[in-house]
Amino acid sequence: MPAGSAMPRRLLTAGLCVLSLAVSIGLAWWQWNRFESASGSFQNLGYVLQWPLFGLFPAFMIYRIRKLRKSAAEAEQAPPGARAEWGRKPVTEVPAPRPRPVVRDVADEEDDELAAYNRYLAELHARDQENS
């Protein structure tokens, strides 16, 4: 990308962020007027609180994208053996794996009550098949 094309894109992005904030503040003002009217409800008050957040969301996304691009650029400049995690500096050492807990297999143990119940179910199934 040519160096001269970044400035108009940034201006357009900043303009869209300001426009979205202005529109959302206008909508919040409208919802506040609705809340104060005779037909207003607490739902309108909830919208009064939500609209500014919607207006700030594009600016937050631009901040987040720039931060992720910066960390990706730092990861590309890191030595070949290093790896970068989200928002962290590159790590050169890989931690040792944790020991796995010993889990006993319940299927290996015999349970007399369970075996008797399974035999009973098998007999019921066999009777049901004979009657059908």
Q: What is the pLDDT of residue 2?
A: 56
**Looking at the predicted structure, is the pLDDT value of residue 84 above 60?**
no
**Looking at the predicted structure, is the pLDDT value of residue 107 above 80?**
no
Q: What is the pLDDT of residue 41?
A: 87
Better-scored residue on pLDDT, 78 or 17: 17
**Looking at the predicted structure, is the pLDDT value of residue 86 above 60?**
no
Q: What is the pLDDT of residue 74?
A: 84
Gap between the Cα atoms of 48 and 36, Å rounded: 11
Is-above-0.85 flag for pTM? no
